[in-house]
Structure 1
Amino acid sequence: MWTIRDSHPNNTMSTNLDDTALRHRSSESTSAIFTWEEVRTHVLPDDKWLVIDGDVYDISLWSRRHPGGKAIISHYAGQDASDAFGAFHRDRQYVSKYLKMYRIGRVKGYHDHKSELSRDFSELRDLTKKMGLYKPNYWFYVFQLSHIIALEIAAYVVVALLGGTGLSWILAAFLIATSQVQGSWLNHDFGHLSVFKSTKANMLAQRLVFSGIQGASAAWWKYRHYLHHSKPNVINKDPDIKMEIFLLVGDTIPVEMAKSKKGFMPYQHQHEYFTVLFPLLLVVYYYYEVLRFVFKRREWLDLLLMSLYFMRFFYLFTPMTGILGAVTILYLGRVIQSSWFIWVSQSNHIPMAVEYDEQDKHWVPLQMHATCNLESSLFIDWFTGHLNFQIEHHLFPTMPRHNLAKIQPQVESLCEKHNIPYIKKPFWTAMFDILRSLRKSGHLWYEMYHLTDPLSE
């Protein structure tokens, strides 16, 4: 979320002047005491405050330079960002030195009003560190990368041995898709800074995997995914639920869309076209959104690595299959990958609550209302990239995925103590729950759409 690069960002002259002025102002006001009522009024685009461990920070200027993007840090304007800050920063001391210039005071009686849940979760986070759960098993990641590369090589070998036949194209597409999905899980690890101690090393590895091996933009992924983790299933803040072009989720969005008479899809059938049409359309939209992001943000390194991926792909396959065969393998592989990824990732989120933001909602219920787990086995862990431990991942996003199961019993105990539902489902139940949830949301839209007369409102 507020991930700081290993070196301080280069500053323009205007930024230096802004920082100088802010240091001067902060030096005069760091002893100021504010009430929560006052903090919550500072939520405007050019006037944003947030709170971390009782300290009040004016992030109006910093949000423009924030490495994770302006939107993600602005999600917590006027709110307590302590747990979110702790979740996304492994080295809080390192990051804190950059925060000093933005500190303007403290919240009155902050620690006196901390809830029992806050104290218990802080103790649980300390326990994860004592258990060494942030230490990665490098052999685990060596295997992940090795089998991703091996699967892609296998796709090439299959076509070379079987020739340019339809069967070889299909087999190659399945192997490419499997490699791509497993690459997505590895990209996810690097993107969450779960593998290396150095932020730069994680970011470089992520670019090589996601842009170089998968042909997508690592910067685009970070922008979307960090926003998702910051406020999962929160309307207008989580981009993963903003799917009105294809789907409506939850109870609130379908009703609002119906009342406004917006949308052009037959949403009452979305649970039917989700299985076939959605992956086909999503691949096309995916390329459009990634390329639009790359050119808009001028992510030229991502563009170079993506271009090299496609050049390599067509250089290897076109001589054996022709351009039609190469395109078929690429697109069919993407459709299979899209279906696999969507079913896994959305099984944890689509059936869960979709709500507007609540300022006082603690980090634990914020994450729990939007996530659930799937039952574990060696195959399911591999198939889902350990996203079957979605609850633990959302609570501790920088924890290496192979350690998530080790903290699961303690998380369940915390939830039981504070009457927070901890939902864990069998794999196939979770898959069918996606369809049940989409059917419910689609019918909500349909009923409201045909009951609402826009002229009467």
Structure 2
Amino acid sequence: MKLKEKCGVTGSLVGSSQPHLGEEHQACGKAVASAGAEVSGKQEANGKQEVPRKSLNTYIWQEIQRHNQLADQWLVINRKVYDVTGWAYRHPGGRPVLTHYAGEDATDVFRAVHPELDVVQLYLKPLLIGELAPGEPSQERHKNSQLVKDFQELRKTVEAMKMFDANLGFFFLHLAQILILEVLVWLILCQFGSGWCVTMFITFLLTISRAQSGFLQHDAGHLSIFKKSKWNHLLHKFLMCHLKGLSGNWWNYGHFQHHVKPNIYPKDPDVKLGPLFVLGDLQPVEYGKKKIKYIDYEKQHLYFVGVLPFYVPTYISLKSLRMMYLRKDWVVRHLTFKYFSLQDIAWVSSFYIRHFITFGPFYGIFGTLLLIYFVMCLESLWMTYITQMSHIPMQISMEENWDWLSTQILATCNVEQSFFNDWFTGHLNFQIEHHLFPTMPRHNYHKVAPLVRSLCAKHGLQYVNKPMLTAFGDIVRALKKYGALWKEAYYET
């Protein structure tokens, strides 16, 4: 029997946002990892896990950097060399996340995106094939070793300050806000009917509920709100699939690529917005020189606002459906109290069932679908401005393999803090801190911001913090600039 069949692997690219790491899952992970070790040829053919330290091979960076292909991927974490080739397609964050770091030092990104390191070690052990040679630096030679060291010290400091400990009450209050809004909408309909004014008001309330659900699912997808991963997984599915009607696996697949390589074209899916938009200093020139003109990109800053309302209900919804189709999310994967792992299609179906039960008696089937679509349009305006104000105006470039701190600082910026800004953005106004420490609860961002700013000043990195209206305007100004670059390249003789 083949290894895939033994483990029940479907060959999908992405797992759940918070993978369930039970005994069966762990056993499968070890088996696949052993296969990866066999492919590498660096361990014994039987794939045994326990390799004495003295028998580990040693490698120089020049050798490691050659293993950066889809079928041959090595990573360095804390000076240890891992062959992730066989494990990549089962990686819960998606295969591209590992591919993007193949042949590189992944120490800081590994630490940044894994909230439960003790569990992840179970997967790392069988992938170990060696370590850096004694004379080799811990990172690639072109990186600033002092900057890397200082950032790692900063992380130790904020860990000692317990900045990664979630306040359960904080997230409970945000969940209560969402549920209260949902119940209030139903009560208003029952009391006042479905008149025009009532419909406009409940649309406003539903938009707030949906946006805040998005912020909370973002938290659940990144960090361990609860101590047990199965409850985090359940919360994420409830928020993303049941309350928003979108695939949690789709979010997981794309969002973590964005985090590990923000604004790196084409590795970050958030900057691959063709054919509608061209972004950065390089993509517009590339399109222009190749005479690519799906749309007049010189005017992209003008049609940006017109396109925004349809981003979530069309583009995002279609990508979510495509993900569920490719993963064959038709049936229940684990219908047990141990895993709580219904497939996304079941969760998303519950979103529409709930809406038809709640609004169908007032609006009918077509009217309910129209209401859902209109709410998604309003949410799209809100969420797109929030997510893009910190990235589109910042540096967008091809891969240059910077250190973790520089990668995040160059691609992100903050928006000034206030009670309204924090609520309106779901604390994503602290985008720099969120990108540096994705598993940190958002209620602690403002506490670590001064430390991050100080470290940036020490190393001459610009820590950008701006008013919200300026940040919104910078999106349009950046799109206008990129469009002008395209026009110049397109019409040059």
- TM-score scaled by length of structure 1: 0.93
Shift in CA distance, 317/254, structure 1 to aligned 2, threshold 3 Å: same
Shift in CA distance, 3/310, structure 1 to aligned 2, threshold 3 Å: closer
1:267 corresponds to 2:264: no
Partner of 1:455: none
- In the TM superposition, residue 327 of structure 1 has moved relative to its aligned partner by 2.6
Shift in CA distance, 162/446, structure 1 to aligned 2, threshold 3 Å: farther
- In the TM superposition, residue 91 of structure 1 has moved relative to its aligned partner by 3.3
- In the TM superposition, residue 312 of structure 1 has moved relative to its aligned partner by 1.2
What is the rounded CA distance, in whole Å, between the counterparts of 1:306 and 1:96 in structure 2?
33
Partner of 2:122: 97
SS class of match (1:243): coil
- In the TM superposition, residue 222 of structure 1 has moved relative to its aligned partner by 0.6
**Which residue among 226, 230, 234 is the counterpart of 1:200?**
230
Moved more, 128-137 or 268-277: 268-277
Shift in CA distance, 343/445, structure 1 to aligned 2, threshold 3 Å: same
1:145 corresponds to 2:175: yes
Query: Residues 50 and 58 of structure 1 are in contact (CA less than 8 Å); yes or no, is this contact kept in structure 2?
Result: yes
Shift in CA distance, 337/30, structure 1 to aligned 2, threshold 3 Å: farther
SS class of match (1:56): strand
Shift in CA distance, 280/66, structure 1 to aligned 2, threshold 3 Å: closer
- In the TM superposition, residue 450 of structure 1 has moved relative to its aligned partner by 2.1
1:18 corresponds to 2:65: no
- In the TM superposition, residue 257 of structure 1 has moved relative to its aligned partner by 1.4
- Number of positions where the alignment pairs a residue of Structure 1 with one of Structure 2: 451
Shift in CA distance, 167/263, structure 1 to aligned 2, threshold 3 Å: farther
1:413 corresponds to 2:430: no
Partner of 1:35: 60
Query: Residues 244 and 351 of structure 2 are in contact (CA less than 8 Å); yes or no, is this contact kept in structure 1?
Result: yes
- In the TM superposition, residue 64 of structure 1 has moved relative to its aligned partner by 2.2
Partner of 2:392: 350
- In the TM superposition, residue 62 of structure 1 has moved relative to its aligned partner by 1.5
What is the rounded CA distance, in whole Å, between the counterparts of 2:315 and 2:175 in structure 1?
27
Partner of 1:211: 241
Partner of 1:184: 214
SS class of match (2:369): helix
SS class of match (1:444): helix
Partner of 2:21: 6
- In the TM superposition, residue 3 of structure 1 has moved relative to its aligned partner by 6.9
Q: Say what the alpha-carbon RMSD is for the aligned residues.
A: 2.3
Matches within 5 A, 1:392-411: 392-411=433-452
Query: Residues 344 and 384 of structure 1 are in contact (CA less than 8 Å); yes or no, is this contact kept in structure 2?
Result: yes
Deviations along 1:132-182, whole A, 9 cap, x unmatched?
111111111111111111112222333333322222222221111110100
- Counterpart residue identity of residue 410, structure 1: L
- Counterpart residue identity of residue 24, structure 1: E
1:385 corresponds to 2:426: yes
- Counterpart residue identity of residue 176, structure 1: L
Query: Residues 244 and 263 of structure 1 are in contact (CA less than 8 Å); yes or no, is this contact kept in structure 2?
Result: no
Query: Residues 169 and 328 of structure 1 are in contact (CA less than 8 Å); yes or no, is this contact kept in structure 2?
Result: no
What is the rounded CA distance, in whole Å, between the counterparts of 2:236 and 2:365 in structure 1?
29
1:169 corresponds to 2:196: no
Matches within 5 A, 1:29-178: 31-108=56-133, 109-111=136-138, 115-178=145-208
Partner of 2:306: 276
1:366 corresponds to 2:391: no
Partner of 2:485: 444
Matches within 5 A, 1:223-238: 223-238=253-268
- In the TM superposition, residue 67 of structure 1 has moved relative to its aligned partner by 1.8
Query: Residues 308 and 384 of structure 2 are in contact (CA less than 8 Å); yes or no, is this contact kept in structure 1?
Result: no
What is the rounded CA distance, in whole Å, between the counterparts of 2:312 and 2:161 in structure 1?
41
Moved more, 159-168 or 53-62: 159-168
What is the rounded CA distance, in whole Å, between the counterparts of 1:21 and 1:247 in structure 2?
44
- Counterpart residue identity of residue 421, structure 1: Q
What is the rounded CA distance, in whole Å, between the counterparts of 1:58 and 1:189 in structure 2?
30
What is the rounded CA distance, in whole Å, between the counterparts of 1:12 and 1:97 in structure 2?
8
What is the rounded CA distance, in whole Å, between the counterparts of 2:455 and 2:61 in structure 1?
27
Deviations along 1:35-59, whole A, 9 cap, x unmatched?
1111111111211111111111111
Query: Residues 211 and 382 of structure 2 are in contact (CA less than 8 Å); yes or no, is this contact kept in structure 1?
Result: yes
- In the TM superposition, residue 276 of structure 1 has moved relative to its aligned partner by 2.3
- In the TM superposition, residue 323 of structure 1 has moved relative to its aligned partner by 3.4
Query: Residues 6 and 198 of structure 1 are in contact (CA less than 8 Å); yes or no, is this contact kept in structure 2?
Result: no
What is the rounded CA distance, in whole Å, between the counterparts of 1:315 and 1:3 in structure 2?
30
What is the rounded CA distance, in whole Å, between the counterparts of 2:191 and 2:94 in structure 1?
47
- In the TM superposition, residue 61 of structure 1 has moved relative to its aligned partner by 1.0
- In the TM superposition, residue 85 of structure 1 has moved relative to its aligned partner by 0.5
Deviations along 1:346-379, whole A, 9 cap, x unmatched?
00101001011113x1000001111000001111
Partner of 2:250: 220
Moved more, 311-320 or 25-34: 25-34
Identity of counterpart residues, as a percentage? 38
